[in-house]
Amino acid sequence: MSDHVTLVTQRRPLRLAREDANTTVIAAGTDVVASTTTQPANATGRIVVPGVLNYLCVCPLMATGTTTPSVRVIGWSRLSTGLWVPRFLAKVGLTLNSTAVGSFFGASLLAPHTLSLTKGDAKLLGEEVSNDSNGWFIVDTVGSELVEIILEAASGTPACNAIISEV
């Protein structure tokens, strides 16, 4: 009988958070989110993904013209009573690159050039050496059945999406 345990880190391949269409950013909101009996779903400015593994790596994408962009991440868990309970995970402010990562569903989307942790807990990743380096952040999603990525801006309704990978 062996007395050791082997740990393996799994990583899911990169993918778009919303694979069927882009959404549009919403006005910056409050960090408080209420419990609900309805399962969180994709909506304007909101992309919901399964919280399968322990961490979610996120590269938010937004179109030119997004002013004061930010991203909030909320973890959701369902009680046995059917109530979905939110858990605020992080809020990250960003500035956008001037060069698009690519065209997604007919919109040229820009990745972050700089990231700043506004609230919560996230590991920020980015070089900030040129205007073409793409910023990412990693957020701990342990215990979340669903993870909601909320893409916000001070004004306008430009197209947005995110590239994600679960770790």
- The domain limits of the chain are 15-166
pLDDT band of residue 144 (cuts 50, 70, 90) is very high
Question: Is 138 or 31 the better-scoring residue by pLDDT?
Answer: 138
- Secondary structure letter of residue 134 according to DSSP: P
CA distance 113 to 40: 29
| DSSP-based helix, strand, coil % in the chain, nearest 5 | 0, 55, 45
pLDDT in tens, 75-134: 999 999 999 999 999 999 999 988 899 999 999 999 998 899 999 999 998 766 666 678
pLDDT in tens, 17-45: 999 999 999 988 777 788 999 999 999 99
3-state SS assignment for residue 92:
strand
pLDDT band of residue 7 (cuts 50, 70, 90) is low
What is the model's pTM? 0.89
Tell me how long the chain is: 167
Residue 71 · residue 164 · CB < 8 Å: no
Q: Residue 10: pLDDT above 70? A: no
The pLDDT score that the predictor gives to residue 130 is 63
Joined tokens for residue 39: 């399962």
pLDDT in tens, 43-58: 999 999 988 778 999 9
